[in-house]
Amino acid sequence: DAGVIQSPRHEVTEMGQEVTLRCKPISGHNSLFWYRQTMMRGLELLIYFNNNVPIDDSGMPEDRFSAKMPNASFSTLKIQPSEPRDSAVYFCASSLGTNTEAFFGQGTRLTVV
C-alpha cells in the first residue's frame, strides 16, 4: 500500500479564495483524521471520521472549515473563504479499528497570502 496520500503537497492561494485539501486513506482503514500544525499551536485535531461518519468536529476552528468523507477511500477538507491565519501544514491520518496505530500522510503545506 502507498500509505495515506494527500494532495496537493503545497498550495499557495490568495486570501478569500476557496481551498480544498484531499486525502486518500489506506485501503481498509475505517477511521480518518484531519490535523493542522503550526509553530504556535503545534498539532491540533480538527475532525475525525469513523466508518465515514464524522464523530468529533469540535476542533474545526470556525464555519469557514468543512470536511466530508463521501466514501471509505476519499475525504476533503475545505476552507472557504481562506485567510492568512489558515496558513499551516494540514495532515490526514487513517487507522484500522480501535487501539491501533494511526498512519499519517506527508501533509499539505498551505500558504494564504
Partner 1 sequence: DAKTTQPPSMDCAEGRAANLPCNHSTISGNEYVYWYRQIHSQGPQYIIHGLKNNETNEMASLIITEDRKSSTLILPHATLRDTAVYYCIVRVGSNSGYALNFGKGTSLLVTP
Angle at the Cα of 93 from the Cα atoms of 88 and 94, rounded to 5 degrees? 165
Stretch that binds partner 1, among 10-18, 19-27, 29-37, 64-72 (CB under 8 A): 29-37
Whichever of 17 and 27 has its CB closer to partner 1, that residue is 27
- Among residues 8, 15, 38, 56, the one that binds partner 1 under rule CB under 8 A: 56
CA–CA gap between residue 13 and residue 47 (Å, rounded): 23
Residues 71-100 that bind partner 1 (CB under 8 A): 91, 93, 95, 97-99
Grid cell 477511521 is found at 31
Residue type, 81: P
- Among residues 4, 23, 67, 79, the one that binds partner 1 under rule CB under 8 A: 4
Instruction: Give the closest residue to 35 by CA, choosing from 12, 59, 51.
Output: 59
CB of 11 to partner 1, least distance (A): 16
Distances (CA, A) of 15 to 19, 57, 92, 113: 10, 24, 23, 6
Sites of contact with partner 1 (CB under 8 A) = 4, 30-31, 33, 35, 42-45, 48-50, 55-56, 91, 93, 95, 97-99, 101-107
